[in-house]
Amino acid sequence: MMKKRILVFVLIAVMMVSASSMSFAEVNYDKFELFLNYIEKYYYQDVSEEEMMDQVYKAMFNSLDNHSDYFTKEEYSVFSEDNDGSFGGIGVSITTEKGYVKVMQMFEGSPAISSGMQVDDYIIKVNGESIFEVPLDVAASKIRGEIGTDVNLTIVRNGKEIEITITRDLIVIKNVEYKMIDGDIAYLKIARFAENIDVEVQDAIKMFIDNKAKGIIVDLRNNPGGLVSVVVKIADLFLPQGDPILQIDYKAYNDEFFESKIDGLTQPMVVLVNKSSASASEIFASAMQDNDRAVIIGETTYGKGTVQTVIPLSDKTGFKMTIAEYLSAKSNKIDGIGVVPDIELIQKNIIQTDFAPLNQKRDIYLGEVSLNVYGVQQRLNALGETLLADGIFGKKTLAAINNFEKNQSLKLNTRLTVATAKALDDYINNSSERDIVLDKALELLK
């Protein structure tokens, strides 16, 4: 009886997924029935029919791409939950990496920051429950919750598990921020292409025009995307009429092509992106790049160029499936590739720690051991070196010092000079406040 019920259920589910696009009539269901028969008769433990079939369905969708998922009853309930009242979160943006949930960004003043969480932490459990290979939407819903309640997170940082308890709070994210900087440069930051933000962007443009802006910076760093309809409206405000914006290729529907309908702003323009700029952000950046409208600065973007639809099923489960692909204005592929910046520049956020003080009074030579060498090693490691911080001035430490001197256009030395140690200390102290990507944008527009 179990195998008949399951087989009928599977056949129905398969037809619902894509009856028109795959020749399921040619699939050998005898093999599937054989497996079910053997499991029912010979497997040494009792098997939960529902749990086993959930895994079958998950395998079906996981075989498609990283953005297609099957939701169990519990997962779909969490995913689609329509809560009344005020609910909050911990104030982070997350993504998935090889099945793990990774922290991409922490919002200013958020509970996550005060708890000691860091960017690039991996969240592996929520309240003791593993979220490995759980759909990202569901994982996010589990982390969110009622304001004032606690959530216990198990994170992995540098290979070590850490338990963090965070009290959820109301997280207010400004989707659009704008101002004039450096006198006559317009700065527009879009955190997400959410519904109706094109109205806010129009307000920003009016302010830019009133202030006679000579250049424009659009900051899309850490922007995870949003609505296609919204990003098309916003791109329209920066392009000449008739310029292509993007195309969407469907299998089951007619392809869509979008182009600018008005003459937008014409001031010189720079767009800032990083590896967490995804989806709609990549549509905007690629449209500006393909039409030679703006210089793109930063890191190669995330590479999410597909469209998903969510379908609820009658048994209270559901699935999310990719149904189309975005292509850039010039028909370039985005998915899995991203938008490559015209100028690659990575903002390195130095984690502030209690470094050993640098009180160097004289030059230090190879072979010497001192607290100053230890402090220099700490600071060099914060810049990306992998030195053993032991206070011993060896050849590897000298090579790292020479790398710093070269990058800062300082004279290369065979010793640790007082001048280099001071320059390193000053660089570290100023790095947390200096946005080198924004500085480069301002340099280009001046």
Distance CA 155, CA 171 (A): 21
What number of other Cβ atoms are within 10 A of residue 44's Cβ? Answer: 4
Active site residue 290: yes
Exactly one of 58, 102, 189, 304 is catalytic; which is it? 304
Pairing of strands 122-126, 269-273: unpaired
Distance CA 420, CA 410 (A): 8
Distance CA 214, CA 208 (A): 9
Active site residue 179: no
Distance CA 133, CA 126 (A): 13
Exactly one of 3, 290, 320, 335 is catalytic; which is it? 290
Active site residue 425: no
Exactly one of 68, 93, 110, 279 is catalytic; which is it? 279
CB contact at 8 A, 267 and 213: yes
* 3-state helix vs strand vs coil in the chain, percent to 5: 35, 25, 40
Sign of CA dihedral 397, 398, 401, 407: negative
Q: At what angle do helices 49-62 and 2-18 cross, to 10 degrees?
A: 30
| Residue closest to 179 by CA, chosen among 169, 171, 189, 170 | 189
| Residue closest to 279 by CA, chosen among 344, 319, 324, 321 | 324
What number of residues does the chain have? 446
Q: Mind telling me the catalytic residues? A: 279, 290, 304
